[in-house]
Chain A
Amino acid sequence: MQPCSESIREAAKRLLLEKRVDAVIGFRKGTVPFMNEPFLARTPEQAGQLVWDGNCAINLANYLPKRTGSVAIAAKGCDSRSIVIHLLENQIRREQLYVLGIPCQGMTDKRRIADRLNGRQVLQAEETGGKVRVSGRDFEQSFERADLLQENCAICTHKNPVLYDELLGQPVEEQQIDRYVEIGKIESMPPEQRRLYFDELVQPCIRCYACRNACPACYCPTCFVDESKPQWLGKTTDPTDTRTFHFLRAFHVAGRCTDCGSCERACPVGIKVRLFTMKLEKQVKELYGYEAGVTQDERPPLDAFRPDDPEPFLG
């Protein structure tokens, strides 16, 4: 994947020198293994700091709403779909944007690596070909990259950007896969067990709102959490309040979520919050045949209707 850093830097420098854009949104090398920092390069010199590797999971479309001026953005498949959602929802204008499309082989999940290492600290990590080599104070180990992918990446069906002005690298092969195996497992639980499952799932939540804020689709000026007249939910980690938060957060992105996994990656306590959004994604696909951000020709499903929409809620 190393060559891609080069091509992003090159493209960014060119765009900035030509004054085609005011800035380029990408990543710069992180300070700890398996992390990169979203970065805004404003000058050709700063563009030299841009990198691309398997730790660029955070959805950069999150930095677009309300932006002024023109900007280039590095976009993987999921980012590009979120950009489409932003365009549909008028959060940014197409003419402001220059999309550097990046075919994506999936991003690594630092939690999965930690699980494999039993508490040993990674001090250095290196990606070469299909392998990830990690080393710490007194160990060195190599993993298959494919085994370390974020869960959303492992089941991704839109690795290639759906929208771009320039494609960096060759398109990668898309996989045919059942995305909803895990959701199916939960659906098949008896209702009581399902309730307990979700109670336990959100129990560690500290209400830091990292999941909400990492989400490109969450840009309401005042979030329902902060509304006070009336106040819809309490602000403690009380179980009912926490469940209300996670339910409504997911519902707000129904039909707009591109399963980029930023929410789950951002969660400091490791809650699998995608289990909420994935179910909605599945429903939207089944009922309305819609996939978020794949096309600009169709409104998001909750902003549209058909006369013969199904009514499974009746009766």
Chain B
Amino acid sequence: MNNPYLPYPVRIDSVITETEDRNLKTFKLVFLNAEDEKKFAYTPGQFGILSVAGLGEIPIGIATSPTEQGFIKFTVNKVGKVTSHLHNMKAGEIMGVRGPMGNWYPWDLLEGKNVVIIGGGFAFTTLRSSIVYMIDPKNRSRFGKIDVVYGARSEGLLLYKDELAEWEKRSDINMHITVDSSSDPNWKYNVGFVPAVTRQKAPSAENAYAMICGPPIMIKFTLPVLTELGFPPERIISSLEMRMKCGIGICGRCNIGTEYVCKDGPVFTLEQLAGLPVEY
């Protein structure tokens, strides 16, 4: 019997420190057994459970896109026991990963639609996966206009800076990078909170879906902006976080009403959330 709790062994291929506060690192993982990579076939929006023997497991969004082959990446914020240990691990060390877990962004519905991506802080990981997926030459024609509003407190806290710069240069994706404030006179992008920048850039709601991921306070103030812009609740998509253990809808802790965030989520539309208790 296939054991859904058993992690696939992976080797840390590289570790990149993403932010100037050194609290976010991206781990590039390579499967020890090639067949495990096939079993780990995922879709942007899903998450994996990272396993560190001796410490425990943590659920983390998959930052890579399935269009990138040979490795998977996870960007991990240092908060607790497992993540603190993980931050001290080095390339070459062995750990584990389980998954892919949960549902994904509704790519079938997004086909032929404009996509507005709104992200804040370190919740940008599965959005990065989605952007890479959509702008892949094989996929780009399936989607309409792509707008990205991505903000962080400061320049140094933005994730994936090299890629952001590259996307800025492309014509098939509209980037709106913003920081809460900047003391850098050479800062060439936006300054201001994500909700304000969203309102200012006013991406059209016509034929569009919005995907929003970020700290609760950002989501709270951005949702009214999206409504103003004309996005109905069924076209606003968000991804939730929850404390998780099993990741497969068995251990019982991540429910919101009848729904398990790990299995029935983490991706929900605003319309779905409206029918559930506000307990997240």
A interface residue numbers (CB < 8 A to B): 228-229, 231
**B interface size (C-beta, 8 A):** 3
Residue of A nearest to B81 (CB): A228
Residue of A nearest to B56 (CB): A228
Residue of B nearest to A228 (CB): B81
State how many angstroms separate the Cβ of A104 from the closest Cβ of chain B: 41
Interface class of chain B by DSSP? helix
Q: Tell me the B53-85 residues at the A interface (CB within 8 Å).
A: 80-81, 84
CA distance A96 to B142 in the complex (A): 66
- Chain B residues lying within 8 Å of A229, measured Cβ to Cβ, are 80-81, 84
B interface residue numbers (CB < 8 A to A): 80-81, 84
- Chain A residues lying within 8 Å of B80, measured Cβ to Cβ, are 228-229
State how many angstroms separate the Cβ of B46 from the closest Cβ of chain A: 27
- Chain A residues lying within 8 Å of B81, measured Cβ to Cβ, are 228-229, 231
CA distance A231 to B84 in the complex (A): 14
- Chain B residues lying within 8 Å of A231, measured Cβ to Cβ, are 81
CA distance A198 to B81 in the complex (A): 33
CA distance A229 to B79 in the complex (A): 11
6 A-B pairs with C-beta separation under 8 A: A228-B80, A228-B81, A229-B80, A229-B81, A229-B84, A231-B81
State how many angstroms separate the Cβ of B142 from the closest Cβ of chain A: 44
State how many angstroms separate the Cβ of B134 from the closest Cβ of chain A: 39
State how many angstroms separate the Cβ of B191 from the closest Cβ of chain A: 37
State how many angstroms separate the Cβ of B77 from the closest Cβ of chain A: 16
State how many angstroms separate the Cβ of B76 from the closest Cβ of chain A: 16
Residue of A nearest to B82 (CB): A228
State how many angstroms separate the Cβ of A227 from the closest Cβ of chain B: 10
Residue of B nearest to A230 (CB): B81
State how many angstroms separate the Cβ of A169 from the closest Cβ of chain B: 45
CA distance A282 to B80 in the complex (A): 40
- Chain A residues lying within 8 Å of B84, measured Cβ to Cβ, are 229
CA distance A228 to B56 in the complex (A): 11
CA distance A229 to B55 in the complex (A): 11
CA distance A229 to B78 in the complex (A): 13
Residue of A nearest to B80 (CB): A228
CA distance A231 to B80 in the complex (A): 12
State how many angstroms separate the Cβ of B272 from the closest Cβ of chain A: 32
CA distance A229 to B80 in the complex (A): 8
CA distance A231 to B81 in the complex (A): 9
6 nearest A-B pairs in the assembled complex, by CB-CB distance: A228-B81, A229-B81, A228-B80, A229-B84, A229-B80, A231-B81
State how many angstroms separate the Cβ of A204 from the closest Cβ of chain B: 25
CA distance A79 to B84 in the complex (A): 44
State how many angstroms separate the Cβ of B240 from the closest Cβ of chain A: 23
Residue of A nearest to B84 (CB): A229
CA distance A67 to B241 in the complex (A): 31
State how many angstroms separate the Cβ of A54 from the closest Cβ of chain B: 39
